[in-house]
Structure 1
Amino acid sequence: MEPVVATGASLNVEDRDDGVRVLTLSNPARRNALDDGLLARLDAALEPAPHVRALLVRGAGGAFCSGYDLTHLGPPGAGGRLPDDLLVECLLKLESHPAPSVALVEGAAVGAGFDLAASCDFRIGTPNAVFLMPPAKLGIVYSPEGLARAARLVGVARAKQLFLAARKLSAREALEWGLLDDCLADAETRALALCATLAGHAPLAVSGMKESFGRLARAPLEEADRARLRGLRAAAFGSEDAKEGRAAFLEKRPPRFSGR
């Protein structure tokens, strides 16, 4: 498949002969930040196909993904749709994809980039990999799906450090915490070898066990809980603090939050 270009960003989709589909994010001006156009193309590339038996997700140019492009964020839209609904849906599709996935994390994995890596089944990082979750600095209540992914990987106490304290993790710390499965200079070779191994196993067995793990890991929220959390998120996205958080981030200055 050829690269598909959208609003200054591109997604390169390469189907290798060994059954591995390589998905490469490229948005050089914003360190591979995601926007809705790029997410739509990623979503399309995640449609299951018989010849795709493993997925490798990576970023171009030495960075994994710097998050969601903040210039595209804002208050909830018509009908109560939240600005990150497409992101949440796309990452759930990756997480539940029948083919196992490997994130090759080079450089920054921030916000949505952190969550993109967490949505994969395995994460192989380079020594310069960095993980950061900044929603508390942006006035945003992050999705319960993303919070749950991080908690499953590192535990609730450490997930609180990541989300509430916005603690930045080096590659070494990410490996110690279980966020990375491996960390080495030649991460690309290791990640492709793991993908080849996964692709070489029985597809029905792999997809069946992957779905089993997913079901065992999830404790479904009650509908009232979901409605409450969505209300909290909508209020945060529409708040003055969220507006100030985005402005401060883009202007590279400390935010001045008011609690409104």
Structure 2
Amino acid sequence: MSDHLLVERNGAIATVVLNKPQAHNAISIDMYRDLPAIMAELDADKDVKVVVLRGAGQKSFASGADISEFEQERSDAAKAKNYNAHVAAAEQAIENVSKPTIAMIHGYCIGGGAGLAMACDIRFADERAKFAITPAKLGLVYSLESSKRVVDLAGPSRAKWILMSGQQIQAERALQLGLFDELFPVEELEKATYEFAELITTRAQFSVRAGKVMVQKVVAGQVRDDEATTDLRNSSFDTEDFAEGVRSFLEKRPPRFEWS
């Protein structure tokens, strides 16, 4: 695994750290290459219920892809095809984890960093955070999948503005556009993020993950229940968590969900 990716575990919460603070956590091809295996491992770990993605320190989530590698790794279309495949695989790996994912965003969330953050389910940022998608500044073309994530969050017209301008968007405006979900003072972001992650770990995990599936299907264009979504909903009534949820409500106590 790349030395620039760290995995930390604290109870049911795992944190993946982009660990290049000396370069504002710029993402190297090795980091992109290693992220799918890391996310697969955390997804398979029954002790993990929530995954937090963050940058090292408080200056940057990630300042983008490591441009110092471009001459070597993206110097022509053939090399770029390989590089872009690793980027897409990393973003898809984050997006497809069955468990909730939260991007904790300090400071810069630019380019490739924005791509990883948008692949997460939820984005919490500090009040000085800056968001930008910058292919228009580099003569590049953003992928369809990544572009769709911008559209899903901000809408078509605003997505065009974001992609065409490449401008940095201040935290408050990013919140208004739907790019961030919550803003916190710099010194409170970490506490707020992990408190929310801890809250999710106390909920019925079957319900949490099924909710993620349902939203993904809606975003993909499904508007009516089919056999798969109906079966998913109905199967919840056979879970021990459903029985515990009812028991705890009747007994007027907090539930103790155990499914993982």
TM-score range, shorter chain: 0.7 to 0.9
Residue 59 of structure 1 aligns with which residue? 55
Q: Distance in 2 between matches of 1:115 and 1:170?
A: 17
Residue 77 of structure 1 aligns with which residue? 78
TM-score by length of 2: 0.77
Q: Distance in 2 between matches of 1:96 and 1:58?
A: 18
Query: Which of the pair has the greater relative contact order for Cα pairs under 8 Å at 6+ separation?
Result: 1
Question: How far did 1:42 drift?
Answer: 2.2
Q: Among the aligned pairs, what percent are the same residue? A: 26
TM-score by length of 1: 0.77
Question: How far did 1:211 drift?
Answer: 1.4
Report the more deviating stretch, 200-209 or 190-199: 200-209
Give matches, 1:1-260, under 5 Å. Answer: 4-6=1-3, 10-17=4-11, 19-47=12-40, 48=43, 49-62=45-58, 63-73=60-70, 74=74, 75-77=76-78, 81-185=81-185, 186-219=188-221
2:35/2:93 contact within 8 Å kept: no
Q: Distance in 1 between matches of 2:206 and 2:69?
A: 39
Say which structure is richer in helix.
Answer: 2
State the AA in 1 paired with 2:35.
L
Unaligned runs of at least 5 residues, structure 1: 221-260
Q: Secondary structure at the match of 2:217?
A: helix
Q: Deviations for 1:97-137, whole angstroms, at most 9, x for unmatched residues?
A: 11101111100000110111111111111111000111011
1:64/1:104 contact within 8 Å kept: yes
Q: Deviations for 1:21-75, whole angstroms, at most 9, x for unmatched residues?
A: 0111111232101112112332222011211110111101221001111232312
1:96/1:214 contact within 8 Å kept: no
Aligned length: 212
Q: 1:198 to 1:168 in 2, by over 3 A?
A: same
State the AA in 2 paired with 1:65.
A
Q: Secondary structure at the match of 1:99?
A: coil
Q: Distance in 1 between matches of 2:141 and 2:2?
A: 30
Q: Secondary structure at the match of 2:6?
A: strand
Structure 1 ranges of 4+ moved more than 6 A: none
Q: Distance in 2 between matches of 1:22 and 1:31?
A: 18
Residue 244 of structure 2 aligns with which residue? none
State the AA in 1 paired with 2:77.
P
* Structure of larger gyration radius: 2
Q: Secondary structure at the match of 2:165?
A: coil
Unaligned runs of at least 5 residues, structure 2: 223-260
1:67/1:110 contact within 8 Å kept: yes
